[in-house]
Structure 1
Amino acid sequence: MFGDMMGMMNKLKETQEKVEATKERLKTVLIDEQSSDGLLKVTITAAREIKNISVSQELMEDKEQLEDYLVLTLNKAITRATEINENELAAVAKDGMPDIPGLDMFK
């Protein structure tokens, strides 16, 4: 039984290291999103860090419209980044979980 417990602890530690490595990798995965008309473009990482915002001169003339574009486009980008982030981390966590009877959190 002690050997099984040590094996599980080692697997959990290994999984934690993989999760941390995945989090670091997600900081380098870039996601590009743009408004439907292409006047605003944003780039964020899968770790949800904004890397770039490109605004058409046309939008600079209307503050309220620019604000609306920013909110909508950033929210779309953040949603995509969150989906990628959660899927990647869930896959790593599921893959590394020890097989404990009755504990099927990721199934």
Structure 2
Amino acid sequence: MFDKLLQAQQIAGDIKKRLDNLSVTGEAEGGKIRVTATGNKQVTAVAIDPDFFASADREELEELLAVAINKALEQAENISQAETQAATREMFGGMF
């Protein structure tokens, strides 16, 4: 039982490392706002097209930024779930 616990901890650490090295991007307004995050849901970059930034009002910019962030985090969550499911199947030999 202790071996399985150690194996699970090792697998969790491996998954975290892989997710730290994966990047996902969420976009809004046709790519004029782009948010990049890791597979562990850490936002690493925000890019706003300068022309769009100059012409957008604050409320529009805030709303679209939230949309882009949520899209990036949703992609990160999907990747995280897929990695975890794959590791679980591997660890338990297809029982799940």
TM above 0.5, yes or no, is yes
State the TM-score, normalizing by the size of structure 1: 0.75
- Counting only pairs closer than 5 Å after superposition, residues 25-40 of structure 1 correspond to structure 2 as 25-40=18-33
CA contact (8 A) 2:29 2:64 kept: no
Q: What is the Cα deviation at residue 98 of structure 1?
A: 7.1
Q: What is the Cα deviation at residue 92 of structure 1?
A: 0.7
**More deviation, 46-55/18-27:** 18-27
Counterpart position of 2:82: 87
CA contact (8 A) 1:42 1:52 kept: yes
Counterpart position of 2:53: 59
Structure with larger Rg: 1
Distance 2:32 2:24 in 1: 17
Q: What is the Cα deviation at residue 28 of structure 1?
A: 1.1
Q: Which runs of 5+ in 2 are unaligned?
A: none
State the TM-score, normalizing by the size of structure 2: 0.83
User: Identity across aligned pairs (percent)?
Assistant: 24
- Counting only pairs closer than 5 Å after superposition, residues 58-77 of structure 1 correspond to structure 2 as 58-60=52-54, 61-77=56-72
Q: Which runs of 5+ in 1 are unaligned?
A: 1-7
With over 3 angstroms needed to count, the CA separation of the structure-2 counterparts of 1:9 and 1:97, relative to structure 1, is farther
